[in-house]
Structure 1
Amino acid sequence: MNDRIPLAIATRLGSAFFFATMNAVIKLAQAHGASLGEILFYRQFVAALLVGAVVASGPGAGSLKTAKFPAHILRAVVGLFAMACTFTGVMALPLAEATTLGFTMPIFATILGALILREPTGVHRWGAVLIGFVGVLIVAQPGGGHFPLWGALAGLGGALLTASVSILLRQISRTEATLTTVFWFSTLSLLPLGIAYAFVAQAHPAITWLLMIGVGALGGVGQLAMTSALRFGPVSVVVPMDYSSLLWATVYGWAIFAVLPEASTWLGAPVIVVSGLYIVWRERVRRRIETQQAIPQGVG
């Protein structure tokens, strides 16, 4: 398994790159006249085609059978709202700030895990949660006016809903393969998105269509790379790689949109990142202790 750790890290770094690039393309599509509803539809439509192709060339349609269809519907509903909030934040905020607020997902996951799953959460992780929210206040600066507060709230809402999805996935993944879960999310979300798209669809120049298709392709590849990384290495190793997306967001913001992060972001982002990394590390420590306690005395 250790031989696959470098592959796990490389794959997760790749997923961070694809998602950061997708966010930049979202803003470009917006600048060329695409609406949120159109971008969301093509994000899922193209991703569904990619996942379907992977299923057809690999495990086959039989792998898509599920005994938890209601759970997949709930995951699709929550996931859609999470994506809508996240994309709204990306469209409203500079890339670096939108990316930084997305890093609060582990913070919300800790809170939801304690409240919903009754996971033991000690003073260390609660302290990390508080420190993380201090970082959020530094970045968002409520009342500061350096970017729209509603955009920041949308980004935080996306992180909260994404954390909710992670809670749902912990339940679904006990019996469902990752590829099966990704497929049902992509396909089930097409029905409501298709209805919404019928009301917001409009004519565009070729470049806008290409950008919207690019959002779907980058998101689909990023999703597959992200989930594949978890097959090659443990969560505690691969998840910290997600923070590399801030580097790409900063580069894209400067090179494409001529925008650099605010001074408050340079101060707050490390606080949020350290908080998230500490939460991941404490989770690893907790699981190791639980594993040791589960081993009968005298064994090993």
Structure 2
Amino acid sequence: MTPTPAPRRSALGILCLCAGVAVFSVQDLILKLLSGAYPLHQAMVIRSLTAMPLLYLLVLASGGPKTLVTPGWPRMVARGLVMFVAYTAYYLALAALPMATTVALYFSAPLMITLLSVLMLHDRVSLPRWLAVAMGFVGVVVMVRPGSDLFDWAALLPVVSGLTYALSMILARQQGATQTAAALAFHGNAVFLICALILSAVFGSGTFAGETHPSLGFLTRGWVTPTAADLGRMALCGGVAAIGLTLLTQAYRVAASATVAPFEYTGLIWGVLYGWVFWSDWPDSTAWTGIAIICGAGLFVLWRETTERRRAPAM
């Protein structure tokens, strides 16, 4: 078979990335709406159970069950554990922070992907792109506001999420040559389900409930009998997760990390929009400054990567 040209692979990766971010933003909205009344582990169990058959259908369409039991399956499980940490930290942050703030801080992930792509994939990154990454982290510090009266320890959770998410996407890039996107997503969801069941076994009875901080309350609250509407919302997260996980995994399988990572920033559009529409949250001047720095750094990284790729054949 003729290999797919690099420009087409990059375009496909970018398209999958933008679509995956848009899909996952719906799950962010739902979980933030539910975070004041239900525990995260309950929503994750229902989400994962709903996603499992959908992901299995994708597996059947992408090579069949044999793709789930390849010699690399332990590495897929390990990646699933990393992703579980990433998304758990992110969802707990959503309970306490405005959506735009959570999303913006999480966007340390593309910067970290650039860093990890050098350390783990040996990608070449120019000095201007390194400077852009450094400026992006300055934007993160501006938004976290360490030492100020407005500092909330929950602001560190999206940064932890960004680091672990970056690691999971680098692992997807490493495994992409031998594993299908559907298999990676299926194993990731299976790990989600097992870990959520473990959290439910620990916190489901409500023994540890009573925490006043929104993030801790979202973690330690006991199971609650959901209304039909809320049960439907939790189940909808399963469909969202199945589609979103596959799209994001596919993006990092088919294209270089440095190419697709800056498009993670499209999630800021959804975070600001949903926060404003549903909670009347609008970033203040400091938050906008941090957002502008982070977005500017990401766009510069994208521009430099594209320019360097175009110049490469002439070198």
Q: TM-score range by the shorter chain?
A: 0.7 to 0.9
TM-score, with structure 1 as normaliser: 0.83
Asked if structure 2 preserves the Cα contact closer than 8 Å seen for 1:236 and 1:281, the reply is no
**d(CA) in 2 for partners of 1:271 and 1:29?**
31
Q: CA deviation at 1:94?
A: 0.4
Deviation sequence 1:35-69 (CA, Å, 0-9, x none): 12223333333222221122235532233231112
Of 101, 108, 116 in structure 2, the residue corresponding to residue 104 of structure 1 is 108
Q: Which moved more, 1:21-30 or 1:102-111?
A: 102-111
Are residues 1:205 and 2:226 paired? yes
Residue 297 of structure 1 corresponds to which residue in structure 2? none
1:135-167 Cα shifts (integer Å, max 9, x gaps): 11222222333352x211100000011111122
Q: Which residue in 1 is equivalent to 2:20?
A: 15
Establish whether residue 27 from structure 1 lines up as the match of residue 16 from structure 2: no
Matched ranges for 1:149-228 at <5 A: 150-201=153-204, 202-206=223-227, 207-227=229-249
Among the aligned pairs, what percent are the same residue? 28
Query: Aligned partner of 1:153: which letter?
Result: L
1:259 aligned partner: 281
SS, match of residue 279 in structure 2: coil
Post-superposition offset of 1:134: 1.2
CA change 1:292–1:274 in 2 (3 A) is same
Aligned pairs for 1:84-123 within 5 A? 84-123=88-127
Distance change in 2, residues 1:44/1:283 (3 Å): farther
Distance 1:147 1:93, change over 3 A: farther
Give the AA of the match of 2:103: T
CA distance in 2: counterparts of 1:26 and 1:48, whole angstroms: 19
**DSSP 3-state at the match of 1:146:** coil
Choose from 301, 308, 312 the match for 1:279.
301
Q: Is the 8 A contact 2:89 2:161 kept in 1?
A: yes
TM-score, with length taken from structure 2:
0.80
Other-structure match for 1:296? none
Q: Report whether the alignment pairs 1:72 with 2:93.
A: no
| Structure 1 residue ranges without an equivalent (≥5) | 294-300
Given residue 81 of structure 2, which amino acid in structure 1 is its aligned partner?
V
Looking at structure 1, the residues matched to 112 and 262 of structure 2 have their Cα atoms a distance apart, in angstroms, of 16
Amino acid at match of 1:213: A
Aligned partners of 1:173, 1:291: CA distance in 2, in Å? 25
Deviation of 1:239 (Å): 4.7
Distance 1:168 1:226, change over 3 A: closer
How far did 1:286 drift? 5.4
Contact 1:38-1:200 within 8 A present in 2 as well: no
Alpha-carbon distance, 1:204 to partner: 2.2
Q: Whole-Å Cα distance in 1 between the matches of residues 11 and 181 of structure 2?
A: 21
Q: Tell whether the 8 Å contact from 1:89 to 1:98 is kept in structure 2 after alignment.
A: yes
Q: 1:106, 1:279 within 8 Å by CA — same for their partners in 2?
A: no
Q: Which runs of 5 or more structure 2 residues have no equivalent in the other structure? A: 205-222
* Contact 1:103-1:276 within 8 A present in 2 as well: no
- Counterpart contact for 2:181–2:249, Cα < 8 Å: yes
Mapped to 2, the partners of 1:3 and 1:163 lie a distance apart of: 23
Q: In the aligned structure 2, how far is the partner of 1:241 from the partner of 1:117?
A: 20
Could you tell me how far apart the structure 1 residues matched to 2:284 and 2:28 are?
18
Larger RCO, structures 1/2 (Cα 8 Å, 6+ apart)? 1
How many pairs does the alignment contain?
Answer: 291
Q: Is the 2:42–2:200 Cα contact (8 Å) retained in structure 1?
A: yes
Does the 8 Å contact 1:48/1:186 carry over to 2?
A: yes
In structure 2, relative to structure 1, the CA distance for the partners of 1:200 and 1:255 (3 Å cut) is same
List per-residue Cα deviations over 1:173-218 (Å, max 9, x = no partner): 1211221111111123322322222333323231332232222222
Query: Shift of residue 277 of structure 1?
Result: 2.7
| Range that drifts further, 280-289 or 99-108 | 280-289
